[in-house]
Structure 1
Amino acid sequence: MSRTAQALARIRRDVQGMHAYAIQDATGLIKLDAMENPYALPPALQRALGERLGRVPIHRYPGPRIDDLKRALAAFVGLPEGAALMLGNGSDELISLLAMACDTPGATILAPLPGFVMYEMSARLQGLRFVGVPLTADFALDEAAMHAAIARERPAITYLAYPNNPTANLWDAGVMRRLIDAVADVGGLVVIDEAYQPFASHTWLDVWRAEPHAHGHVLIMRTLSKFGLAGVRLGYLIGAAALVAELDKVRPPYNVSALNAECALFALEHADEYARQAAAIRAERARLMAALAALPGVQVYPSEANMILVRVPHATRAFAGLRQRGVLVKNVSTMHPLLANCLRLTVGTPAENDALLAALAPSL
């Protein structure tokens, strides 16, 4: 046996049987597959940011600026009384840290499906059991099935993405409240993933502020990726201070770089620019949804995010046709049976959306 083969034998067999998170090659294509903000900063702000980053003491570990960032985020979101913040290298790291912190014998992580693939992947990488509960045919929470799964599995963590990825919809608030209470009854955590909050009409943080007594076991997770800093990798959790203090013990030291923190601080200081960009994306979303709905054979689903889920007659053929015509989207048709013949389209700039529409019609 070769030395490499001997070393490979030390890697868990379940890991060797997994697929790595796939990132599509977008070279030379209009990139509408990853829900990124398509707008760069204006040149004057780009220069100001570059000069500011040039002054960051990168020969030192991140220091007090991390605390400055936490305070700025707390002010930006209007942190509820008694709550605290925890930072992560994007939401992905936070999801992994949650699995690590809740890795007790027999622990289960539960989430609706289809949903964000990292909930399941992080559970399996940590050696935890993952249970997915299918949505209804119109991508709503199946309340009865969720209640049954919560009672049966007594999950350590229940994920509720708000809005959901890849379906882009918000859940019914009444159903959310009842599921949050059900998880409390079995002593679990609820993680409400608000990655797409800048484009949604509602945030669960408003419910938390109005009903703090019901949210002691709830964490709200957000990212600055969709805000406009996908390349910076900055996510954060909001939760009861005592709960966050325990979760923070599994966070690696210096997990957020000094450069990332400075970028995030700069962005928060110019939040009005990012709010303008989010408004432009929401307006383009409405225009794009109307144009898509006018195409023969295309079913458009409601969206509260910067993506649109569509069902087309032949998703794989349409995906290939779009790519051939220079537009890259996400073919989600094989992710879950409910997503048969579905494509997920990121909302781009007006020019990018026009190119998508022009390429989609002949690709159908």
Structure 2
Amino acid sequence: MTAAFDRALTQAIDQIRPDVRAAHAYVVQSSHGLLKMDAMENPYRLPPELQRALGERLATVALNRYPAERTAELARALARHAGAADDVGVTLGNGSDELIGLLSIAVARPGACVLAPVPGFVMYEAFARQQRLDFIGVPLRADDFQLDEAAMLAAIREHQPALIYLAYPNNPTATLWDAAVIERIAQAAPGLVVMDEAYQPFVDQVSGQSSLALMARQPNVLVMRTMSKFGLAGVRIGYLLGAAALVEQVEKLRPPYNISVLNAEAALFALAHADVYAAQAAELRQQRDRLFQALQALPGVSPWPSQGNMILARVQDAAATFAALKARGVLIKNVSALHPLLANCLRFTVGTPDENTRLLAELQDCLS
């Protein structure tokens, strides 16, 4: 490299916004050679016979053509799968992340802000700040990670947010929030309220409330789901449901052809075999209960009840426990630095029976 090259590079970087230069990229932990229990993925693959059938189907896709009708077919198929009415609007994203980005663009006006309970999904704040929106984080109740209704309503009155995110269940706490509180927040909100249901496949039917019913009563409510936790994290399909006139505004911002023909075809194939994924989700709910009970029995471990495919637990020393597990070949998520309420907290993805058995054995060794 020459001095002239370095000067030219510096000059080019100087054209990037200062807040972008000061930001940090989202870091994905390397899982090479490790038991991967850090990212809330479905650990099950398709049975071999369905793998072959999917491969044969993908081999016939016209890769020389841009995505067109099949993407629209996928959008309506996902709306039907969710149980939405025919007149409900739907738009697709390259995972929920892209939809969060589009929503941020949609409300980005001078003085506008985004509000969400914290701790929560870090991308709500990240995408808001990319659009130079203020982000207002309202702490959850410290004892049970439930919504602080008084604080939420006070923040709404003070800041008049253009966009509110309510993750149901929440990440990383895996908690469901009181449906009546959610409805009162939606009624008080001057702008959009997005129910982020990424972990909806793992909610016990007796525990969960219908966000679609809330959406039908409150026109400012949108429901966002993803196929990542369904079992297609690598396919990157997110979808947003809501009043057609409202979803249409977000659709205007969606990049053309943002869903590849291969991803669309894989998603349609998965929906045709939804019973296989439903059985996997049922198994993971059972394994979640087993893992929770086992964590409760370990000395120095305090887990919170979960309605996702993850369990949040507090340990005596999160950093040391994380490092010890990684040294033993098990990768989890240390979330203790994300928010003061998560001090010394770790997040464990629910795995297969064998994976959970190994995790518990290694964790017990670490703690002893």
TM-score of the pair, normalised by structure 2: 0.96
Distance in 2 between residues matched to 1:103 and 1:284, nearest whole Å: 42
Superposed CA deviations along residues 110-158 of structure 1, whole A, max 9, x for unmatched, are 0000000000000011111111001111211111110010011100000
Distance in 2 between residues matched to 1:55 and 1:107, nearest whole Å: 47
Q: Is 2:219 aligned against 1:216?
A: yes
TM-score of the pair, normalised by structure 1: 0.97
Question: 1:316-331 counterparts in 2 under 5 A?
Answer: 316-331=319-334
Q: CA deviation at 1:210?
A: 6.9
Q: Is 2:138 aligned against 1:133?
A: yes
Is the 2:116–2:136 contact (alpha carbons within 8 Å) kept by the matching residues of 1? yes
Distance in 2 between residues matched to 1:257 and 1:210, nearest whole Å: 32
Q: CA deviation at 1:70?
A: 1.5
Point out where structure 2 has 5 or more consecutive residues left out of the alignment: 1-5
Tell me the equivalent position of 1:158. 164
Distance in 1 between residues matched to 2:87 and 2:47, nearest whole Å: 38
| CA shift in 2, pair 1:362/1:205, >3 Å | closer
Distance in 2 between residues matched to 1:22 and 1:182, nearest whole Å: 36
Q: Secondary structure at the match of 1:252?
A: coil
1:260 maps to amino acid: N
Tell me the equivalent position of 1:271. 274
Q: CA deviation at 1:204?
A: 7.1
Q: CA deviation at 1:67?
A: 1.6
Q: CA deviation at 1:207?
A: 4.9
Q: CA deviation at 1:106?
A: 0.8
Which of 345, 348, 352 is the matching residue for 1:345?
A: 348
Aligned residues: 360
Q: Is 2:18 aligned against 1:13?
A: yes
Is the 2:215–2:221 contact (alpha carbons within 8 Å) kept by the matching residues of 1? no
Which of 26, 32, 37 is the matching residue for 2:31?
A: 26
Distance in 1 between residues matched to 2:184 and 2:86, nearest whole Å: 23
Superposed CA deviations along residues 204-225 of structure 1, whole A, max 9, x for unmatched, are 773543772x320000000000
Question: 1:72-111 counterparts in 2 under 5 A?
Answer: 72-80=77-85, 82-111=87-116
The 4+ residue runs of structure 1 with deviation greater than 4 A are 202-205
Is the 1:162–1:171 contact (alpha carbons within 8 Å) kept by the matching residues of 2? yes
Q: CA deviation at 1:324?
A: 0.6
Tell me the equivalent position of 1:280. 283
2:253 maps to amino acid: V
Point out where structure 1 has 5 or more consecutive residues left out of the alignment: none
| CA shift in 2, pair 1:204/1:286, >3 Å | closer
Distance in 1 between residues matched to 2:215 and 2:138, nearest whole Å: 27
Is the 1:289–1:308 contact (alpha carbons within 8 Å) kept by the matching residues of 2? yes
Distance in 2 between residues matched to 1:200 and 1:50, nearest whole Å: 31
Distance in 2 between residues matched to 1:177 and 1:210, nearest whole Å: 7
Tell me the equivalent position of 1:59. 64
Tell me the equivalent position of 2:314. 311
Is the 1:88–1:235 contact (alpha carbons within 8 Å) kept by the matching residues of 2? yes
Is the 1:143–1:175 contact (alpha carbons within 8 Å) kept by the matching residues of 2? yes
Is the 2:176–2:208 contact (alpha carbons within 8 Å) kept by the matching residues of 1? no
| CA shift in 2, pair 1:204/1:243, >3 Å | farther
Question: 1:134-213 counterparts in 2 under 5 A?
Answer: 134-137=139-142, 138-183=144-189, 186=190, 188-202=191-205, 206-209=210-213, 212=216
Tell me the equivalent position of 2:245. 242
Q: CA deviation at 1:79?
A: 1.1
Q: Percent identity?
A: 61
Is the 2:165–2:196 contact (alpha carbons within 8 Å) kept by the matching residues of 1? yes
Is the 1:109–1:123 contact (alpha carbons within 8 Å) kept by the matching residues of 2? yes
2:300 maps to amino acid: G
Is the 2:193–2:222 contact (alpha carbons within 8 Å) kept by the matching residues of 1? yes
Superposed CA deviations along residues 225-257 of structure 1, whole A, max 9, x for unmatched, are 000000000000001000011111011000111
Which of 282, 289, 292 is the matching residue for 2:292?
A: 289
Q: CA deviation at 1:22?
A: 1.2
Is the 2:324–2:366 contact (alpha carbons within 8 Å) kept by the matching residues of 1? yes
Distance in 1 between residues matched to 2:132 and 2:91, nearest whole Å: 24
Q: CA deviation at 1:261?
A: 0.3
Kindly report the root-mean-square deviation, in angstroms, between the aligned alpha carbons of the 2 structures: 1.3
Q: CA deviation at 1:82?
A: 3.3
Q: Secondary structure at the match of 2:210?
A: helix
Q: Secondary structure at the match of 1:2?
A: helix
